[in-house]
Amino acid sequence: MTTRPIIIDTDPGIDDAVALAIALYSEQLDVRLITTVAGNVSLEKVTKNALRLLEFFGKDVPVALGAARPLIKAPIDASDIHGSTGMDGFDFKEPTQDRVLKEHAVNAMYRVIMASEQPTTLVPIGPLTNIALLLTMYPDVKEKIDEIVLMGGSTTRGNMGVMSEFNIAADPEAAKIVFQSNLPVVMVGLDVGWKALVYPEDSEQLKGMNQTGGMIYQLFQKYRGGSMKTGLKMYDSCAIAYLLKPEMFQVVETFVDVELNGSMTAGCTVVDLRGYLKQPSNAKVCVDIDPDMFKQWFMESLGKCN
């Protein structure tokens, strides 16, 4: 089976942890590098979380530290949702530093992408700071990028501001650079994340599934991404779902830009579904998902973990 080379840029984050589990155990994906970015919590904490997860899974994927703050905006975090460590709820072993590269994430991404025979897919599931820096510092890298499949944005309302989604609002300038990059961009946003839900009965099933399921079950007891009763939202897993089972999504190709200056709307994605702006499309936007197909895929995928 041919595997698809990917780099995951992440800020774990409870839903990031679940997405990483699925990607790392997938036989169709070859996770060549994990890069970290300040987002849900600080760079130091998210990197520690990525290392904890890799140690827990026993996976030898290199980790490179990226941006500790957004390009221009003051940092924000989401510790109210993910807990003060960013991954509250499970007692992980203290991770070794063996997997940590000495290079900055941007340099590590450039090296790994340029050395690959096959074009690489970037999967950012946190703020887009590292990706924007990569595209700006090393424009020649674009030729070797297959696609950017990002979790972020919304076609309607937000989860950070009235209209803005967390990953885009955390670094809107970076997001604008990514949408304007002329690369194939897939936006997997809130519209689908809101329907990618885990209910108490699913969580109970995970508990005894395998050691990963048991760990995730415990993280879910602390995750404030929705209440457990109304369903926990698996935002970041949707980006992995798009890579592995795109048929579960309804996708529209359209023009997307990021509002930088609106006094009430800064950080929101402007998704021109009706073509008002008369601009050529620059993204595939996931506007809907089949929730049952997602659920089945999600449980089956976690069933493949150790």
Site for ligand BDR in 195-214 (CB under 6 A): none
Nearest approach, Cβ of 2 to ligand BDR (angstroms)?
28
Which of 159, 269 has the CB closer to ligand BDR? 159
Site for Ca ion in 217-276 (CB under 5 A): 236
C-alpha distances out from residue 82 to 116, 140, 294, Å: 34, 36, 22
CA distance 66 to 61: 16
Give the residue closest to ligand BDR by C-beta. 166
Residue 77 contacts which entry, ligand BDR, Ca ion, none (Cβ below 5-8 A, type-dependent)? none
Asked whether the beta carbons of 51 and 99 are under 8 A apart, the reply is yes
Nearest approach, Cβ of 293 to ligand BDR (angstroms)?
21
127 contributes a contact to Ca ion by CB under 5 A: no
Query: Dihedral (C-alpha) 138, 142, 143, 146: value to the nearest 10 degrees?
Result: 140
66 CB-near residues (< 8 Å, 6+ apart): 9, 35, 36, 37, 43, 104, 105, 106, 129, 130, 133
From residue 111 to residue 140, the character string flagging contacts with ligand BDR as x (rule: CB under 6 A) and all else as - is: --------------xx--------------
Residues in contact with Ca ion by the rule CB under 5 A: 11, 13, 16, 125-126, 236
Residues in contact with ligand BDR by the rule CB under 6 A: 13, 15-16, 40, 78, 81, 125-126, 151, 159, 165-167, 235-236
